[in-house]
Structure 1
Amino acid sequence: MTDLVQRLAEVERRLDALEHKPSAKQQPASADTFWLLDALQAGPEIPDGSVAFGGDVQLGGSSYQYQWQRPTHAVTDEPWTDAITRLSALAHPLRAEILRRLLAAPATAADLVEEGIVSSTSTAYHHLNELSSAGWITKAKASTFEIRASRVIPLMTIIIAGEDH
């Protein structure tokens, strides 16, 4: 009977904690409040020592929801070759500006030239090909490019990870 009472008390404590947590869509009141970590610990079982990210955004008339979690050993023990290749494609100012533009809506190489992001269509195609080869963008139709849906939240996560914390 005591075990049942303890289990019920634990369930009530967790329910109370969930009901009084700030919404994941709200900014925490304080940088000292670990609302994401608290939510991860209260949620489904995840391996100890994990890194997770996710998001829920609306951009250019589209909605993106995404989450990803990796245990620490998958980050520390596995080669980084593929990830570094993808990241190196981002490390160019024009590519960054192209991606920022593509977050708003798909675009053609001609659109990028017309908007003054790149100086010529050959320059646009060079950078679009690099971003495509690295898996960040895809052709939506004919000659229109867009960010792959599964890359929108990771891209935004990388950008905010680079902010001064």
Structure 2
Amino acid sequence: MASTASSDMEKLAKARAAVGDDYNPSEDEEYMNDRQLDYFRILLLDWKKSIHDAAGQTLQSLQDGPIREPDLNDRASSETDWGIELRTRDRQRKLIAKIDSALRRIDRGEYGYCEVTGDPIGLKRLIARPVATMTVEAQEAHERREKISRDD
């Protein structure tokens, strides 16, 4: 894990140097050029780092000790809060897998293109959801099929 983190930090530093601080992808550029790929690499690595930092804070809070609320209502409220916190961390753990997958797609040159149609996903969608793997249209069709199969 530590080697992965240091590798991520090296990639992040290299991408930051290549992109610069004031860069924003533009529709006027060639789609998924090196600078755009570095921009999305930075976005994904920063996101991953913030998730790891938050998980570390949660872990530290858990290690600080059990819930010792004397009042039963306060204790129940604290346990509910911890349950929500742990579910959030579980969702973020799954998100890290998606971030890692997106970083692998950048390395393979597949990032930014729909896994179903092969069409460009689009800069606006990728900025809003950097782990997106499908165009809006393909995602909507996928969700419709999923809903139909769930209703059967």
TM-score by length of 1: 0.23
Higher Cα Rg, which structure = 1
| Structure showing the higher helix proportion among its residues | 2
TM-score by length of 2: 0.25
| Structure showing the higher strand proportion among its residues | 1
